[in-house]
Structure 1
Amino acid sequence: MHHLGVPTSRAASLIVSKEPVWRDPFYNGSVQKERGAVVLRLARSWFRIGSLEILTRSRELDLLRKVLDFVIEEHFTTIQTDDLDKYVALFSTVVNETAHLIAQWMSVGFAHGVGNTDNFSLLSITIDYGPFGFMEAYNPNFVPNTSDDEGRYSIGAQANMGLFNLEKLLEALYPVLNPNQQSWAKHILKGFPQIYQKRFQELFKAKLSLEREEESDDGYLIAFLLKIMEDTGADFSMTFRHLSEVSAQQLHSRSIPEAMWALQDLSDHEYFSEWVNIYLPRLQRAHRSDEVRQHQMRGVNPRYVLRNWMAESAIRKAEKDDFSEVRLLQDVLSRPYVEHPQAEERGYASPPPHWAKGLKVSCSS
């Protein structure tokens, strides 16, 4: 996530123990013995929306103010500590940055998996990795968490999930706000959908090399593409990557190279030609050469993301004390936009293997 440019906590170390532990990874009564391990993660702060919510619910308002003052002084230095409206300013910043974070998740096809208030950082960084997943076939209902039967935390619900959490943050702040500040904060919260949509559009325009020109139809162009991706089940990451590599002439003549398998899947749609007929003139109006467009798009559309089947393959080897694929993944994913020979050999940019279809994880995976 860090090398994809997404704000995130970082893994500092992973220590494997010889001592076995008993686990029920999918909460289905199938207990199994596994080796224990500890991962150490670092972040600028581990304060969460839930950190404030629990103080308000327990009516510890003096402690709530102390925590808020500490967070502002330590992490939100642009807010003056003697500002009477500092809590509203903090809320406004969190609303804005949360919208930006979720838009970034969407732009790389990342589903967090469990987006409750205790898993949402006040600093708007990605924390608490558990049943997460990078979406393969584009599907707004994609759920990586095996226990999320209702799709509460599906990838397409993440913006609404963020809004819900911000509503809970506002409830937590309510006791330390005066009536005018409460009204002001409510007004700020109403702007969340617009902030999110604006950032979402900016990121996806960049993925299509449209960001330097503002045109009213760009939103339609993006929505049209996502719809035909959904209809065809085209791979999210590789569709955009292949669009980064295909030439305008190849798109115009519909001569998609066989190696561009995700784009070939997309081209099977009855409206693909119609989308291309909108996209190509839009690129021409930007007065940008194919080489410049492709270079820019390859810089924002990764060739590799950590798909669950890749992690599973590395885990199976690691269980036998073979950490070669763990190291390979670490190397490849630190440069996700650059083609890597070993990654190509391993099929990291190829269609997912059949055995990986429907692979999900749990909170304790």
Structure 2
Amino acid sequence: MTAALFPFENSFAGLPPVFYTRLVPTPLPAPYLVALSPSAATLIGADPAALRSQESVETLVGNRVAERSQPLAAVYSGHQFGVWAGQLGDGRAILLGDIATADGPLELQLKGAGLTPYSRMGDGRAVLRSSIREFLCSEAMHGLGIPTTRALSVAGSDQGIVRESIETAAVVVRMAPTFIRFGSFEHWYYNRKPEELKQLADYVIERFYPALQDEENKYAALLEEVTRRTARMIAHWQAVGFMHGVMNTDNMSILGQTIDYGPFGFMEGFDANHICNHSDNQGRYSYANQPQIGHWNCYALAQALLPLIGEVELTQEALDVYQPEFARHINQLLHAKLGLETTQEGDSELLDGLFAILQANHADYTIFFRRLSGLRAAGAEGDEPLRDLFIDRAAFDQWAEGYRARLRAENSNDTARKLAMDQVNPKYVLRNYMAQVAIEKAQNKDFSEVERLRALLERPFDEQPENEHYAALPPDWSNQLSVSCSS
């Protein structure tokens, strides 16, 4: 399969024209390949080597439109930072079509492909900096086992783009079964278009939730399933210390996948109130707030679906699954992170105590859990790598004593527990400083660090001794880094 001849189908384009605008991407001068994900290419049956050709790069930025593609930009609306923002839409993203795979269809979308009718005051472009961050984090989240869109490639150009300073342009090819979001439904609800609302819901159910077709109220069943998936996704975020940064309803996937990577961050020194987005002045999307914001967003979706569901009570019942689903899933994930195979009385206090000392000492979240697997149930010998993460070592010792007692209560085996814990507690995550180093090298046409990080984060649970330095505490200069909605 050559890049110019992707075997596209065009399912979304089969909806009425009111759902999108057909257009071709704006050409990008002299494009060059920055990064490619071989595993993402394999998903769509593409040869990674073939995708590196210049002809293919022209396709990956939209300069060359594949024969069977019907490119379009979709319309949607949304709540941004809790405020209704009205019509939004694909302001810089263009959908090329979908490709059939063994696991179902995958849409290919170009992000940064030029102006669309929904660009508002934007230029329709993305910059190299943010494009590298999205590429790396999409693939890193997949490596962590968290539901996410995928990133096939990043291609750049020397074309200047104005942000806070002059930067260069780039295009990310991202992939997902669909890019329909909560805001896609809100758009038709707030514009009082019940027929279009029903068409969209029927399309989503038929294509992505066919098992719901026979439910007594398939729209209530859709809301319930999306609510469950959203709760589970955010439980995954919390467990790994991931912060999305912009949980607007237009950035929430109808499939419960992580979508739209902007000012994201992975927790370093633990602070439940950490805000990873410099633009989030009120802290709406802090780490601690993510679970409740996920619930709030589901309410926004429920409001949009209410005309189809028809009954407030059924709608509320569908939403009521969120909190128990989140609680159940985060409980399972945290038990696994601690190497606990059973649930016993007092576990909540053990977890609360852990997060209290992590907070008080701002211990590095990823490093703590990775080193925790080396703790021995019988005694404190060998605790130094863990204790060194805490200023208040006495507080750690007290918690560790209780944790050891809990391990002994289920006859935990040190060797087996370490093996299990190392499979759920990553050694490597995409820290901001790592991305920044890769970006600065790429801005000088050295893409080696982007590829190094892609390969590293593809196997985040493996020891990879040759990459040990990426598992160390971040350098002091990384504290000065900030990310915002600008891209």
- TM superposition score normalised by structure 1: 0.91
CA shift digits 1:332-359 (9 cap, x unpaired): 1000011223422xx2111110100142
Aligned pair 1:52/2:185, yes or no? yes
Q: Is the 1:234–1:263 Cα contact (8 Å) retained in structure 2?
A: no
- Map 1:187-226; keep pairs closer than 5 Å: 187-210=317-340, 212-226=341-355
**How many angstroms apart in 1 are the aligned matches of 2:216 and 2:371?**
52
Is the 8 Å Cα contact of residues 94 and 123 (structure 1) preserved in structure 2? yes
Which one of 10, 22, 42 corresponds to residue 162 of structure 2? 22
1:172 and 2:304 are equivalent in the alignment: yes
Distance 1:192 1:13 in 2: 34
Q: Which runs of 5+ in 1 are unaligned?
A: 25-31
1:50–1:117 CA contact under 8 A, matched in 2: yes
List, as ranges, runs of 4+ consecutive aligned residues in structure 1 with deviation greater than 4 Å. none
Alignment of 1:70 onto 2:203: yes
Say whether residues 1:233 and 2:362 are aligned partners. yes
Q: What amino acid sits opposite 1:225 in the alignment?
A: L
- Whether the aligned pair in 1 keeps the contact of 2:152 and 2:174 (CA below 8 Å) is yes
- Counterpart position of 1:333: 457
Q: CA deviation at 1:253?
A: 2.4
Correspondence for 1:156 among 276, 279, 288:
288
Post-superposition Cα deviations, 1:263-303, rounded to whole Å, max 9, x if no partner, equal 42237343222211211121122223110000000000000
Matches within 5 A, 1:83-94: 83-94=215-226
Structure 1 position 184 matched with structure 2 position 314: yes
Partner of 2:474: 352
Q: Secondary structure at the match of 2:342?
A: coil
Given that 1:4 and 1:302 are in contact with CA atoms closer than 8 Å, whether structure 2 keeps it comes out as yes
- 2:377–2:408 Cα contact (<8 Å) kept: no
Say if 2:171 is the partner of 1:38: yes
Instruction: Give the 3-state SS of the residue equivalent to 1:270 in structure 2.
Output: helix
In the aligned structure 1, how far is the partner of 2:362 from the partner of 2:158? 42
Q: Distance in 1 between matches of 2:300 and 2:402?
A: 42
2:401 and 2:390 map into 1 onto residues whose CA distance is 14
Shift in Å, 1:312: 0.2
CA distance in structure 1 between the aligned counterparts of 2:429 and 2:380, rounded to whole angstroms: 30
Q: Does 1:126 align with 2:258?
A: yes
1:247 matched residue in structure 2: 376
CA contact (8 A) 1:103 1:200 kept: yes
* Aligned counterpart in structure 2 of residue 277 of structure 1, from 401, 408, 413: 401
Judge conservation of contact 1:137–1:234 (CA < 8 Å) in 2.
yes
Counterpart secondary structure, 1:266: coil
- Residues in 2 aligned to 1:289 and 1:139: alpha-carbon distance in whole angstroms: 31
Larger deviation, residues 153-162 vs 187-196 = 187-196
Deviation at 1:322, TM superposition (A): 1.2
Within 1, Cα distance between the matches of 2:417 and 2:456? 24
Q: Which structure: greater strand fraction?
A: 2
Give the secondary structure class of the aligned counterpart of 2:157: strand
Deviation for aligned residue 1:245? 2.6
Give unmatched runs, 5+ long, in structure 2.
1-140
- Report the equivalent of 2:410: 286
Counterpart residue identity of residue 232, structure 1: N
SS of 2:154 mapped into structure 1: strand
Secondary structure of 2:304's aligned partner: helix
Give the aligned CA root-mean-square deviation in angstroms. Answer: 1.5
Q: Among 147, 150, 166, which residue is 1:7 paired with?
A: 147
User: What secondary structure, in the 3-state scheme, does the structure 2 residue paired with 1:113 have?
Assistant: coil
Give deviations 1:105-157, integer Å, cap 9, x for gaps: 01110000000110011100000000100010111111111111111100110
Q: Which residue number corresponds to residue 145 of structure 1?
A: 277
Match of 1:27 in 2: none
The DSSP-based 3-state class of the residue aligned with 2:373 is: helix
SS in 2 for 1:39: strand
1:321 aligns with 2:445: yes
Distance (whole Å) between structure 1 residues aligned to residue 329 and residue 245 of structure 2: 21
Q: What is the SS of the residue equivalent to 1:18?
A: strand
Tell me how far apart the structure 2 counterparts of residues 293 and 220 of structure 1 sit (CA, whole Å). 21
Alignment partner of 1:79 is 2:206? no
Which of the pair has the greater relative contact order for Cα pairs under 8 Å at 6+ separation? 1
Tell me how far apart the structure 2 counterparts of residues 110 and 267 of structure 1 sit (CA, whole Å): 24
How many Å separate the matches in 1 of 2:456 and 2:387? 23
Distance 1:133 1:155 in 2: 10
Q: Which protein is richer in helix relative to its size?
A: 1
CA deviation after TM superposition for structure 1 residue 75, in Å: 0.4
Q: With the length of structure 2 as denominator, give the TM-score of the two structures.
A: 0.69
